[in-house]
């Protein structure tokens, strides 16, 4: 049976400041590096066949720390890149909450194309396609993928069989692990938004 550990990157200063990063190349903060090390420790004894990552800086930095104990180099996969937030990038979430367009997006993210950005449906389509390619390449192996909150939520919605309208109800924190397994009966969601210590304690 194959298994994938889907990790959200460590914290950045922009996460702490509640600013929209989207496709911007923001580095990990000191806290984010510590979170990445905790992820690496949690998975150090798991036989990972490969580590894949969003190409964005914060994800790749996390993936490099994660991959080191396994003697691996992370492989960037564009399909796992965060939703491009367009004109919202660099703004604070508190500022955006005042906008009617943001309120509409939160109410139904499937109905909005972000100004200068993309749609959540586009993110789901490319993320699922990327994950399915990994499943085909590693049918009975364990993998790690470092990505972003909206991407992980999109994958959860797809494999749980729920509409993207419920995406705002999901929470994926920095430095957490969501786990999928797959076999002849398809993909199953094993764990969502787990802290590294909880994953490390499981077989």
Q: Residue 21 maps to which CATH number?
A: 3.40.50.1240
Residue 177 contacts residue 10 (beta carbons within 8 Å): no
CA-wise closest residue to 179 among 2, 1, 6, 35 = 6
* DSSP tally for the chain: helices H, then strands E: 8, 6
Catalytic residue among 61, 64, 70, 82: 82
Residue 21 contacts residue 12 (beta carbons within 8 Å): yes
Report the chain's mean pLDDT, rounded to a whole number.
95
Q: Each residue of 189-203: pLDDT tens digit?
A: 999 999 998 888 776
Q: What is the pLDDT of residue 203?
A: 64
pTM (predicted TM-score) = 0.96
The Cα 48–Cα 50 span in angstroms is: 6
Q: Each residue of 65-102: pLDDT tens digit?
A: 999 999 999 999 999 999 999 999 999 999 999 999 99
Helices in 161-203 by DSSP H: which ranges? 196-200
Q: Which domain holds residue 184?
A: 2-200
Give the mean model confidence (pLDDT) for residues 107-121.
94
In the β-sheet with 75-76, what is the strand arrangement from edge to edge? 75-76, 48-53, 142-147, 2-8, 177-183, 186-194
Q: What is the pLDDT of residue 110?
A: 93
Q: Each residue of 157-174: pLDDT tens digit?
A: 999 999 999 999 999 999
Q: What is the pLDDT of residue 77?
A: 98
Catalytic residue among 9, 61, 89, 150: 9
Q: What is the pLDDT of residue 183?
A: 81
Known catalytic membership, residue 148 = no
Number of compact structural domains in the chain: 1
Known catalytic membership, residue 82 = yes
Residue 18 contacts residue 94 (beta carbons within 8 Å): yes
């Amino acid at each position: 049976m194959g298994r994938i550990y889907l990790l959200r990157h460590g914290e950045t200063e922009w996460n702490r400041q509640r600013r929209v990063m989207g496709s911007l190349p923001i580095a990990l903060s000191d806290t984010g590096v510590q979170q990445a090390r905790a992820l690496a420790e949690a998975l150090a004894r798991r036989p990972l066949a490969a580590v894949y990552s969003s190409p964005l800086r914060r994800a790749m930095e996390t993936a490099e720390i994660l991959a080191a104990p396994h003697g691996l180099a992370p492989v960037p996969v564009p399909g796992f890149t965060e939703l491009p937030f367009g004109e919202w990038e660099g703004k604070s979430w508190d500022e955006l909450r005042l906008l009617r367009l943001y309120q509409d997006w939160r109410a139904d993210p499937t109905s909005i194309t972000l100004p200068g950005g993309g749609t959540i449906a586009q993110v789901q389509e490319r993320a699922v396609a990327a994950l399915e390619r990994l499943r085909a390449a590693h049918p009975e192996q364990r993998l790690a993928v470092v990505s972003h909150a909206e991407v992980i939520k999109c994958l959860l919605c797809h494999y749980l069989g729920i509409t993207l309208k419920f995406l705002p109800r999901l929470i994926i924190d920095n430095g957490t692990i969501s786990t999928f397994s797959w076999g002849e009966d398809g993909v199953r969601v094993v764990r969502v938004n787990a802290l590294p210590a909880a994953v490390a304690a499981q077989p």
